[in-house]
Chain A
Amino acid sequence: AQSVTQLDSQVPVFEEAPVELRCNYSSSVSVYLFWYVQYPNQGLQLLLKYLSGSTLVKGINGFEAEFNKSQTSFHLRKPSVHISDTAEYFCAVSEVIGGTSYGKLTFGQGTILTVHP
């Protein structure tokens, strides 16, 4: 069975500072990996995804993530955050079996990023 652990429940940071939100996963098979963002009182929207190929993935709003298979990690980074990045961020994994994903999408516990002026 797949599982996802987000190592930090809350990350406070000052505006224009860099940030890293950590995500580790567990799976016995290959996976697809996703980061989603949830702004207050809204649903989730996709930031970026890793399916295959280059391990460095770029997403929207200046975010990027690096897939590390040996460490089973998919950490999210941004070199300079803005006040508007304040939100909750979720890492998610979908297992790949027989070359295709059977569709179950498992989320981590979430990390609340708070950007201070």
Chain B
Amino acid sequence: DADVTQTPRNRITKTGKRIMLECSQTKGHDRMYWYRQDPGLGLQLIYYSFDVKDINKGEISDGYSVSRQAQAKFSLSLESAIPNQTALYFCATRQGGNTEAFFGQGTRLTVV
């Protein structure tokens, strides 16, 4: 089983719909991150969380919200999806700031 699991792996949704992307980890890490990847732009940080009660906005948080339901779970929501949110979304976990981040396999989201 993967250490960082994202569900769903692929999703097509309509403009204006609410959608949630889920991430769970079995590594016991305290820090969790959501990134979106667009061609030529690298990975842009949406939100990050240092523990259940500590959630921070990244560079591109507008239009997104998150929930850290437990140390192992970190969900990303699009309240009203729009086409320019079509992207590949990655969840990552990390234990401490000087360690490597472990990534999920990604969720490919298409908003039509």
Q: Interface residues, chain A, CB within 8 Å of chain B?
A: 4, 6, 9, 32, 34, 42-46, 49, 51, 90, 94, 96, 100-110
Q: What is the 8 Å Cβ interface bit string for chain B, positions 40-70, against chain A (1 contact, 0 not)?
A: 1111110010100000101000000000000
CB distance from B73 to the nearest CB of A (A): 18
Report Cα–Cα, A103/B43, bound state, in Å.
Answer: 15
Binding site for A on B (CB under 8 A): 4, 31, 33, 35, 40-45, 48, 50, 56, 58, 90, 92, 94, 96-98, 100-101, 103-106
Q: A9-B40, A107-B43 are in contact. Are A101 and B97 (CB under 8 A)?
A: yes
In the bound complex, CA of A104 to CA of B103 (Å): 15
CA distance A44 to B45 in the complex (A): 14
CB pair B45 A105 closer than 8 Å:
yes
Chain A residues in 8 Å Cβ range of B50: 103
- A to B contact number (C-beta, < 8 Å): 64
Contact between chains at A101 and B98 (CB < 8 Å) = yes
CA distance A90 to B100 in the complex (A): 13
Contact B90 A104 (CB under 8 A): no
Asked whether, in the complex, the Cβ of A42 is within 8 Å of the Cβ of B105, the reply is yes
Q: Which residues of chain B are within 8 angstroms of A45 by Cβ–Cβ distance?
A: 103
**Residues A32 and B98 in contact, CB atoms below 8 Å apart:** yes
Select one of A46, A94, A108, A110 contacting B97, CB under 8 A: A94
13 contacts between A and B (CB under 8 A): A4-B42, A9-B40, A32-B98, A42-B106, A44-B43, A44-B103, A46-B100, A94-B97, A96-B98, A102-B97, A103-B50, A107-B44, A109-B42
CA–CA, A43 and B4, complex, Å: 10
Q: Which residue of A lies closest to B41 (CB)?
A: A109
